[in-house]
Amino acid sequence: MTEPDARERLIVRGVNVLSEHGFAATGLDSLLKESRVPKGSFYYYFRSKSDFVLVVIDRYAELWDRKLRRILGNVAMPPLERIERYIDESTAGMKKYGFKRGCLVGNLGQELGSLDPAIATRLAEVLDAWALHMEACLLDARAAGDIHASLNPKTLAQFFWTSWEGAVLRAKVQRSTLPIEHFKEVLLCHLRTAGAAKSSAAANPGVAP
Amino acid sequence: MTEPDARERLIVRGVNVLSEHGFAATGLDSLLKESRVPKGSFYYYFRSKSDFVLVVIDRYAELWDRKLRRILGNVAMPPLERIERYIDESTAGMKKYGFKRGCLVGNLGQELGSLDPAIATRLAEVLDAWALHMEACLLDARAAGDIHASLNPKTLAQFFWTSWEGAVLRAKVQRSTLPIEHFKEVLLCHLRTAGAAKSSAAANPGVAP
């Protein structure tokens, strides 16, 4: 009844399907059918539907971790260009899939966040891990003098992912890259110019010594 | 079979329930039961489930429109303080409901955006209407010299709502106001200091003449 690749097929299919729809719209039956896995063997591979979702989240987190390391950790590129690259690559990915695919973490967060505590905790952990990559990149930017010394890389990194999830959600709803373009424009303007005193201000109390 | 208040009870209950969960988790049966409306009369009041959701969205949009007029349109208060007030009032509201309630527009957008074109279009219209209130407030800020002349109120207003939806989603998942606090910190830093040339930069090409 079991075969080595069936579990893997379910996980891969789960990642794709949960990137498009939430959990409620994803019928377990059709997922099993599309993965060519007999209905009866699901509970051989996973303890529960919730356990399956956690495994799918872990797989998605691994894939994204590699992408973030490759782009945000690329020291051959100026830090702010790495952030632009991440936004541009992800936008191209959304376009490629006709704006059907969003972010699995955002999709599940919206739907299950208020329902399943284990999944909510795991989603928060994934976003925290992603924030560490962004924070490291922003620390590089600060060390290079590309962002103002008064900006806080930790806060900005958290801000990046919450705003990014919002922009991806809206891009999906509007089937347009415009919300991501607005996000990118404001974010880069912020990183390049914020923290400096306004010309009209006498002093900038936020500047670090 | 019909009575004047039944439709109203369904709409009010719909607003509350869809602010907490998405559409899939909201069973029509329990909604009818909680509203004390007999199952058979639903289609007397609404053509379809989709029609009901559109009416609920309109009601929610009206409520929020009044709130935005009251806070963002309050010319007695400095423009940036109005934006802070909106964020603070909404955060207090989320706390009050134990982070169960998020934004109905965000909830539905995540779930139905990729499924029902009529609902997706209506959600985008609502967010555009909200953006107009924010844009007017930011134009006041620019006229008062509170934000840099190079900042674009239209882009910033769109950015505000996409980021706000992301922050509300994450606050719900984490059951914490922290994501909203990060959003507020970065946004206000941006409005107060961005657009100015960095001390290290020779000139700021983004400044309007």
**Which residue would you say has higher pLDDT here, B161 or A26?**
B161
The shortest CB-CB distance from B173 to any of A25, A124, A173 is to: A124
* pLDDT tops 60 at residue A19: yes
User: Of A107, A158, A200, which is closest to B145 when you measure between CB atoms?
Assistant: A200
| pLDDT tens per residue, range B109-146 | 776 655 678 888 898 899 899 999 999 999 999 999 99
A&B contacts, CB < 8 Å? 191
For position B26, what pLDDT does the model report? 67
One-letter amino acid identity for B14?
G
pLDDT at A27 over 60: yes
Both structure tokens of B155: 């882009």
CA distance A87 to chain B (A): 15
CA distances (Å), origin A121, targets A17, A57, B95, B165, B172:
21, 11, 19, 20, 12
What are A77-105's pLDDT values in tens digits? 999 999 999 999 999 988 988 877 777 88
Per-residue pLDDT band for A113 (boundaries 50, 70, 90) equals: low
Query: Residue A56 corresponds to which tokens in the numbers above?
Result: 């799918």
Of B68, B66, B42, B67, whose CA–CA distance to B55 is shortest?
B42
List, for residues A35-76, the tens digit of each pLDDT value. Answer: 888 888 888 888 988 888 899 999 999 999 999 999 999 999
Q: Where are the alpha helices (DSSP H) in B21-103?
A: 28-34, 42-45, 49-72, 79-96
CA dist., res. A87 & res. A84, Å (int): 5
Q: Which helix (H) or strand (E) holds B155?
A: helix B153-174
- Grouping H, G, I as helix, E, B as strand and the rest as coil, residue B110 is helix
Identify the pLDDT of residue B25.
Answer: 64
- Chain A contacts of B173, Cβ < 8 Å? 109, 113-114, 120, 123-124
ipTM given for this complex: 0.83
Does position B5 have pLDDT exceeding 90, yes or no? no
As a whole number, the mean pLDDT across chain B is 85
The residue of A119, A162, A165, A172 whose CB has the most chain B CBs within 10 angstroms, and thus the best one to mutate to test that interface, is A162
**Quick check: A163 and B158 CB within 8 A?**
no
Q: How far is CA B71 from CA A25, B47, B65, B87, B128, in A?
A: 37, 35, 10, 10, 17
- pLDDT at site B136: 98
Give CA–CA dist B63/B16, Å, rounded.
12
Q: How many CB atoms lie within 10 A of CB B101?
A: 20
The pTM of this model reads: 0.84
Mean pLDDT, chain A, as a whole number?
A: 85
What pLDDT does residue B58 have? 93
Distance from CA of A3 to the nearest CA of B (A): 33
DSSP at A145:
T
What dihedral do alpha carbons B132, B20, B163, A67 form, nearest 10°?
-150
Q: How far is B118 from chain A (nearest CA, A)?
A: 11
CA distance A88 to chain B (A): 17
Range B179-184 average pLDDT: 96
Distance of CA B168 to the CA centre of its chain: 9
Best of A100, A110, A150 to substitute, by most chain B Cβ atoms within 10 angstroms, is: A110
- Residues A154, A155, A161: CA angle, nearest 5 degrees: 95
A204 interaction partners in chain B (CB closer than 8 Å) = 193
